[in-house]
Amino acid sequence: MSEFILLQNLIYPSNELSLTMISLEEWSIVYTFGPDVKQYLQNQLTVDINKLPNNHHTICAHCNFNGKVWSTMRLFHYRDGYAYIQRKNISFLQIKEIKKYSIFSKIKFSILENMVLLGLSGLNVRSFLLKFFFEIPNKNCPVVHKNNITLLWYSKPSERFLLILSISDFEKFKNKINQKIFFNHSKQWLSLEIEAGFPIIDEICANKFTPQMINLDYLQAMSFDKGCYYGQEIISRIFFKNLNKYRLFFLISMEKITPKIGSIIETKINGKWFKIGFLLSIVNIKYEETYIQVILHKSIGIDNIFRIHGFKNIFFKKH
């Protein structure tokens, strides 16, 4: 019989994580299909859809005409079309924007409310999954579809998996577990995404940053030779003329705080505090640590001390 240990208010760093099942209630899965789906996404997203193998997933972004990111997502082949996973609070707005020019295209978008997104990470996670699935994804085959269940493999910050399954399949899977396993909410997955360097774009930060500012060029989540897509002209000019002045960073503090997303990040230069960037995401780790994902001016040195505007005595260092 399974023994679930709830960790509702305690988030662990990846190197201390025991075998943990994670509810991804802060993420959603969007399914898109139709005869024109491939070409339509090719004209909308930052990656070359034609180069995405059937058994791989990729990070990418949906941008506006000015090259600013609406949403970051993880895209893969799904059923008769494609699916992508993104932050739930941006999904309604993002779908509204991506559908704007679909009136003459045979394509549909829908949030799959009836599917469960489940993360699995921590000690011996691969051995655990092999008890339930004959084939699980790996580096060479990061996406596996089997019996209406989809598994995605992530390599960073340590090996972990994302399962997409129906509510009934989730109940069956849960009832088969006969060992001790921790159960946690979305903030645990968020902390792993921050450690992995995946840029978190919530609704409050949508339409504000170019892909280069959130490291999508480093993450191979942009194509510069596939042809036109929304924002491509501006994005390419920034890239080829080296105009980008900001980068995504991961900062840590030994204090526990809860500032608002979008807050100003400051750094101390010659005894004075200056505005240097913006807060994208935050999660409190264990008892008193705080992880934050921020956009900073790329000239900032590794030894700089940072703080969030309004929290004068709480300081952060680069990870």
Please, are residues 194 and 249 in contact by the beta-carbon 8 Å criterion? Answer: no
Question: Residue 312 contacts by C-beta under 8 Å, 6 or more apart in sequence?
Answer: none
Residue 67 neighbours by CB distance under 10 Å? 21
Annotated binding site for folate: 27, 189
Residue 282, token pair as written in the block: 């935050």
Q: What is the DSSP letter of 18?
A: P
**Which residue matches tokens 């807050």?**
263
Q: Which residues pair with 153 in a beta bridge?
A: 161
Annotated binding site: 27, 189
- DSSP run (H or E) holding 118: strand 115-121
Name the E strands within 242-308. 246-253, 264-269, 272-285, 289-297, 306-308
Helix (H, G, I), strand (E, B) or coil at 138: coil
Residue 96's φ and ψ, nearest 5 degrees, are: -60, -40
Q: By C-alpha distance, which of 190, 155, 179 is closest to 12? A: 190
